[in-house]
Amino acid sequence: MISGGRSLSEEKPARRARGASLDEVDRRIIEVLTRDGRAQSTSIGEELGLSGNLVANRIRAMDAAGLMRVVALADFRVHGYKMLARIRLKVSGRAPIEVANELAASEDVLSVHITSGRYPVSCLYAFRNARAMLEAARNVYADIPGVEDVDVELLNNVYRYNPTVGPLGA
């Protein structure tokens, strides 16, 4: 049971501002969702001593505020991709953000970050075949102004994938 100053079971659907943070009740709900992302609100409520309505409202409110989302992560192979590479770019004479924005426009580019490293632009690029990978590596260099060097690393095996946190706003 979670004890609080007010009765949680009578709580109104929470309206939260973006930037608000998660409270203890939210965290306990998320803990149950980590075990089963599709657990019914009523069964989560039973486990935590809360009403099903409250749980449903909390999940909806966290989602609406951009604090937490229950997502389906699919392996890239489910989407018909065969290979995945991390491609990192050295940039000169141009702001990395501009290069990053050009890269992000491609549907096959899954994520783009600006980092503190030698290669300030880092992306995850998915390919349907080996030829697509070679073409992408060449085109990034030839077509995006400011790209000075390209580093391609073909990802092979996954040893761990345990996401609990991510940039949902991006």
Partner 1 sequence: MAMETPEYPSTDQLDRQIAVMLADDARLSFRKIAADLGVTEGTVRGRVRRLQASGLLKLVPIIDIASGGPGTGNGQQMLFITVKCANGKFDEVREGLLAMPLIRALYDANAAHRLIAVCVLSSLDEAAEITNQVLALDGIREAETEIVLQTIKYNTAIAPIATLEDIARAAASGTGDEAAD
Give the binding site for partner 1 (CB under 8 A): 19-22, 27, 30, 33-34, 36-38, 59, 63, 66-81, 84, 86, 97, 100-101, 103-104, 109-119, 122-124, 126, 153-170
- Give me the least distance between CB of 127 and partner 1, in Å please: 12
Distance of alpha carbon 109 from alpha carbon 164, whole angstroms: 22
* Cβ atoms of residues 45 and 57 within 8 Å: no
Cβ-in-10-Å burial (0-12, 13-18, 19+) of 121 comes to buried
Cβ-in-10-Å burial (0-12, 13-18, 19+) of 103 comes to buried
Our CB check for partner 1 shows the closer of 135 and 153 to be: 153
- Give me the least distance between CB of 8 and partner 1, in Å please: 20
* Cβ atoms of residues 19 and 67 within 8 Å: no
- Give me the least distance between CB of 38 and partner 1, in Å please: 6
Our CB check for partner 1 shows the closer of 10 and 73 to be: 73
Cβ-in-10-Å burial (0-12, 13-18, 19+) of 152 comes to middle
Our CB check for partner 1 shows the closer of 10 and 40 to be: 40
- Give me the least distance between CB of 138 and partner 1, in Å please: 18
Our CB check for partner 1 shows the closer of 15 and 118 to be: 118
